[in-house]
Structure 1
Amino acid sequence: MSKTNPSNLDLNLLVILDTIFTERSLTLAGNKLFMTQSAVSHALSKLRHHFDDRLFVRRGNIMEPTPLCKTIHRNIAPSLKTINQSLADRGEFDPSSSKRTFNLGLSDYLCQLLLPGILKIIEAKAPEISIRIMQTTYEKRTEMLQNGKLDLFLGCPRDYGAGVLKEKLFEDREVCVVRKDHPIQGRVMNEEEMADSEFAALSLSESGLGFLEDYLYRKGVQRKIKIVLQQETVIPALVENSDLVGSMAQRLAEIYAAKGRLRIVRMPLENTEFEVSQHWHSLNDSDPAQQWIRSVIKEVATALPPLGLT
């Protein structure tokens, strides 16, 4: 019989492969599985023999997966997650009794906007359910949906591939915040003020381009970016004590402006509106648990007030 025949493989080894892939460390994988490092190493040797591939290559302290390992993991991870979730839910999802953990990809901006409402519903309807919030770059989101690390993520619609489905939640607009006594005094900065200012900007892309930078690039407009962050809620603290101009989503900017230390100003640009959608993999489209958490997020997003004018 072939080595690659499933009957020749202890399926528990796939759990170990999945854990090594996630942790990128034999020691951490062993800790998570309550196994010694030598036991994990022995299991990895069996996997290598079975697949006739090294599967993981050590790079310093990191165990990097080989191309074959990535392919195997991409195919088995969703199934392993489904099995674990089915066992936890005893084959039937009931939010009132489920002990499932949902992995949600939310930026800090979306956490501040939506997380209190999501937790309120979970506390009332599903007290044993827990959630894990993960921040991701645009480039990693599809992969994390495919390998089961994320149940869903929220963000601006992009081309994430044919297997990723989406649902619009709400609209927002890119604006700027400045300290109360900033030299820019008008409600809309002029082009000269925009060209002379230094900006604190958000980017969730490995390329360094955020939503606004991508938009400006296509318009042929350049800004002086002093600092780029992945944490949008840090921007107000930087702006409050400097001449920096911070780029933010309007709904978040209004929360900080209401505290009285910052002002909202608009850029001399049109169409800085953007949509926020929830995205999930088509493999999980019919999963009752995922349908439920998507409905919770939709309910909270629908309750947001309409986007006003600044």
Structure 2
Amino acid sequence: MAERASSELNLRELRILNALLHERSITRTAQLLATTQPGISKVLRHLRAQFADPLFVRNGHAMQPTAKALDIADQLRTLLGAADGLRASVSAFDPDQSDRSFSLLLTDVGMIRFLPPLIAHVAAIAPRVKIRATPLDSRQFELKLEAGEADLALGAFPKAARHLRRQRLYFDGYVTVMRDGHPRMSTLRSRTGFLAERHILVTASETGHAAHGTAQRVLASQISPSNIMLQVPSFIAGAIVAAETDGLTTLPANLAKRLAGPLGLTAFDTPIALPRIEIAQYWHERYHRDAAHRWFRSVTFDLFGSTAHKRRR
């Protein structure tokens, strides 16, 4: 009997299988779950024995799931969701007494935009609650929410999976920034003057700025390649370079507002029509009814939702 029990599947192994189905890589799964590749390989060997199936086969450098693995994928997600539901507290949440830790997925922009007011507010109303910020990789944020590695993701993710819960916070636009004292401040606000200047183009990336792709393409189509002095995958890096050169860079308006004073920048309306960005918070269904999670979502919405956003403006 003991021998049989020791060979049974456990939730940790099933979570690893779920991660492998998403990542198709032992290396990336180990990184995601903060463990070792040999540890993942050992679990995979046990899973193969339990299911009497290889589960994954090599196709070059990639791991392709077998028909059996694909067949159990939906059941696996349902089972893990039910298991987490059993652990969810049904008791009332007392933020004044709780020492719960919440994990946020944020881009570099999100950390500057959201963390200072959030940390200050939570410290005032829930002094023992802890918050951990994790860099957001748009290739993995859905799985991290699904696996319980993070509670919320804040930002713009237009292609987020439909099974994730989401709540719009606000819409953001774009402005262009130049250093204070720029020699052509009076002319570069016009379309002609703007296009004649040299630019720092922020490129959309797989690390959380996918929503910027449309704006990037519009800017790149209007600005002559000879006038693009630098391309960077970071809004913050672009702003710092603009502060120390005569280059212009175009940023989300809320970020520009936050950086303008400290970096010595002047913001102005970009004389090219650019799309708005929808900023939202995302979470997994399994935590939707959890009392502590509901409290945390309400805090972020009260701080950053459209009503609060208009008040600050």
Q: Provide TM-score, normalisation by structure 1.
A: 0.71
SS in 2 for 1:269: coil
Q: Does residue 122 of structure 1 match 2:122?
A: yes
User: Once the 2 structures are TM-superposed, how far is the Cα of residue 295 of structure 1 from its aligned partner?
Assistant: 0.6
Tell whether the 8 Å contact from 2:164 to 2:285 is kept in structure 1 after alignment: yes
Q: Does residue 175 of structure 1 match 2:175?
A: yes
The C-alpha deviation readout for 1:198-244, integer Å capped at 9, x for no partner, is 43344554399854551464699433452131x43232221122232
Q: Does residue 237 of structure 1 match 2:236?
A: no
**Cross-structure match for 1:3:** none
**Cross-structure match for 2:232:** 228
Tell whether the 8 Å contact from 2:172 to 2:252 is kept in structure 1 after alignment: yes
**Cross-structure match for 1:107:** 107
SS in 2 for 1:242: coil
User: Once the 2 structures are TM-superposed, how far is the Cα of residue 52 of structure 1 from its aligned partner?
Assistant: 3.0
Q: Which amino acid aligns with 1:158?
A: P
Distance in 2, matches of 1:291 and 1:202, equals 35
Q: Does residue 67 of structure 1 match 2:65?
A: yes
Structure 2's unaligned 5+ residue stretches are none
**Cross-structure match for 1:250:** 253
Q: Which amino acid aligns with 1:10?
A: L
Q: Which amino acid aligns with 1:250?
A: A
Seen in structure 2, the aligned counterparts of structure 1 residues 256 and 218 have a Cα distance that, compared at 3 Å, is closer
SS in 1 for 2:283: strand
Seen in structure 2, the aligned counterparts of structure 1 residues 27 and 217 have a Cα distance that, compared at 3 Å, is closer
**Cross-structure match for 2:279:** 276
Q: Using the aligned pairs only, state the percent identity.
A: 23
Seen in structure 2, the aligned counterparts of structure 1 residues 294 and 268 have a Cα distance that, compared at 3 Å, is same
Q: Which amino acid aligns with 1:11?
A: N
Match of 1:264 among 267, 271, 291: 267
**Cross-structure match for 1:148:** 148
**Cross-structure match for 2:16:** 17
- Count of aligned pairs between the two proteins: 294
Matches for 1:24-173 after TM superposition, within 5 Å: 24=26, 42-55=42-55, 66-67=64-65, 71=73, 74-75=77-78, 78=81, 86=88, 93-156=93-156, 158-173=158-173
SS in 2 for 1:149: coil
Q: Which amino acid aligns with 1:142?
A: E
Seen in structure 2, the aligned counterparts of structure 1 residues 146 and 202 have a Cα distance that, compared at 3 Å, is farther
Q: Which amino acid aligns with 1:286?
A: R
The C-alpha deviation readout for 1:104-137, integer Å capped at 9, x for no partner, is 2222223222212222333234344322323334
Tell whether the 8 Å contact from 1:26 to 1:41 is kept in structure 2 after alignment: no
Structure 1's unaligned 5+ residue stretches are 1-5
Q: Which amino acid aligns with 1:111?
A: M
Matches for 1:210-229 after TM superposition, within 5 Å: 211=211, 213-215=213-215, 217=217, 221-223=221-223, 224=225, 225=228, 226-229=230-233
Seen in structure 2, the aligned counterparts of structure 1 residues 218 and 27 have a Cα distance that, compared at 3 Å, is closer
Tell whether the 8 Å contact from 1:26 to 1:40 is kept in structure 2 after alignment: no
Seen in structure 2, the aligned counterparts of structure 1 residues 57 and 235 have a Cα distance that, compared at 3 Å, is farther
SS in 1 for 2:132: strand
Tell whether the 8 Å contact from 1:186 to 1:265 is kept in structure 2 after alignment: no
The C-alpha deviation readout for 1:176-199, integer Å capped at 9, x for no partner, is 111123344138633333334443
The C-alpha deviation readout for 1:230-289, integer Å capped at 9, x for no partner, is x43232221122232122122221233224722112221346543322122334322222
CA RMSD of aligned residues (A): 4.4
Q: Provide TM-score, normalisation by structure 2.
A: 0.71
User: Once the 2 structures are TM-superposed, how far is the Cα of residue 47 of structure 1 from its aligned partner?
Assistant: 1.4
SS in 1 for 2:272: coil
User: Once the 2 structures are TM-superposed, how far is the Cα of residue 146 of structure 1 from its aligned partner?
Assistant: 3.2
Higher helix share: 2
Q: Is 209-218 or 239-248 further displaced after alignment?
A: 209-218
